Amino acid sequence: MSRVFRLIISCPDQVGIVAKVSAFIAERGGSIVEANHHTEVNERWFFMRHEILATSLGNDLPAFKEAFEPIAKQFNMEWQLNDSDKPKRIALFASKESHCLADLLYRWHEQDLPGEVACVIANHDDLRSMVEWYQVPFYHVPVSRDTKPEAFAKTEQIIEQHEVDVVVLARYMQIIPPNMCRDYAGRVINIHHSFLPSFVGAKPYHQAYERGVKLIGATCHYVTEELDAGPIIEQEVIRVNHAKNIDDLKRLGRDVEKITLARGLRNHLEDRVLIHGNKTIVFDL
């Protein structure tokens, strides 16, 4: 993979944004690897993502950033300019179930995840050996009703110490406290084991079994204060039938959860996910 700079823009829509931005890139000799636009017509809002070959810009991100500043101001842009050579640092939160954690660690180990796993934090000690085989720091931070505030204070301290960019709840069975939801808005990703908005909350496979659905699913979404209601990044389903019991649903669902989380996280790590209200634009050509 060649080094690229990723320019991510969201701003009020008007004629001339694309022209301005692409002229700016072209004048500097920037070679565009991938470009995506989207306009929310009703709300007249515009979204854009460019991948530009870093060598074509002299590998000089700060210069490019400084030069772009006036355009950003002119169009009232929210924007980011990220360097693929500075991959996002990930904290994986886990509990006892290992499938999502193991899947992400494996992908990272195989250089298949465009990010850096900085640490694992778990409220049980069960998965320590697996994590340590990958030579990733493992923190056991138990959480009980009484210790929750201290536990999360410690948790936040660990992720700050590791300069974490994104927290992934890899079947972490604790509810993130509201203040952490706010502090890390758009940076905490959860995998919920149902096709949301069906089966919010606890035991979704039991709920799915009781309702007799013919497909079960998983949802990768950003965490907000309202449980299982944040912006959806990715969803996937698998067919089931009357012959499947709850254990079968769990077993089949694990594969769906792993894939849904890995895809959603991958898109986040490559700056392909733009949040707009409670929805996402996902430029995942």
3-state SS assignment for residue 118: strand
Binding-site residue total for a copy of itself (CB under 8 A)? 62
3-state SS assignment for residue 90: strand
Rounded distance between C-alpha atoms, residue 280 and residue 237, angstroms: 19
Residue 282 found at the interface with a copy of itself (CB under 8 A)? yes
Nearer to a copy of itself, 90 or 220 (CB): 220
| 6 phi, psi to nearest 5 deg | -115, 120
Question: Least separation, in Å, of the C-beta of 251 and a copy of itself?
Answer: 6
Out of 98, 123, 155, 190, the only residue in the binding site for a copy of itself (CB under 8 A) is: 98
Nearer to a copy of itself, 162 or 209 (CB): 209
3-state SS assignment for residue 219: strand
The count of C-alpha atoms lying within 13 angstroms of the C-alpha of 154, restricted to the half-sphere facing its C-beta, is: 13
Residue 197 found at the interface with a copy of itself (CB under 8 A)? yes
Catalytic: 112? no
3-state SS assignment for residue 89: strand
Of the candidates 13, 228, 255, 284, the residue annotated as catalytic is 228
Out of 117, 118, 167, 196, the only residue in the binding site for a copy of itself (CB under 8 A) is: 196
Name the DSSP letter for residue 136.
Answer: -
| 184 phi, psi to nearest 5 deg | -110, 30
Question: Least separation, in Å, of the C-beta of 148 and a copy of itself?
Answer: 29
- Which segment (74-82, 165-173, 174-182, 208-216) binds a copy of itself by CB under 8 A? 208-216
Name the DSSP letter for residue 57.
Answer: G
Out of 3, 148, 203, 214, the only residue in the binding site for a copy of itself (CB under 8 A) is: 214
- Tokens of residue 281, six digits: 């634009």
Out of 34, 116, 156, 225, the only residue in the binding site for a copy of itself (CB under 8 A) is: 34
**Sequence letter at residue 190:** N
- Tokens of residue 158, six digits: 């660990």
Residue 211 found at the interface with a copy of itself (CB under 8 A)? yes
Residue 106 found at the interface with a copy of itself (CB under 8 A)? yes
Q: Which of residues 131-190 bind a copy of itself (CB under 8 A)?
A: 133
Out of 94, 232, 265, 269, the only residue in the binding site for a copy of itself (CB under 8 A) is: 232
Judging by beta carbons within 10 Å of its beta carbon (0-12, 13-18, 19+), is residue 38 exposed, middle or buried?
middle
**Please, which residues bridge with residue 189 across strands?**
168, 222
Please identify which residue in the block is written with the tokens 């886990």. 94
Query: What are the residue numbers of the active site?
Result: 228
Binding site for a copy of itself (CB under 8 A): 15-16, 18-20, 22-23, 25-27, 29-35, 37-39, 41, 56, 98-99, 102, 106, 110, 112, 133, 195-199, 211-215, 217, 231-237, 241-243, 245, 251, 254-255, 259, 262, 278-282, 285
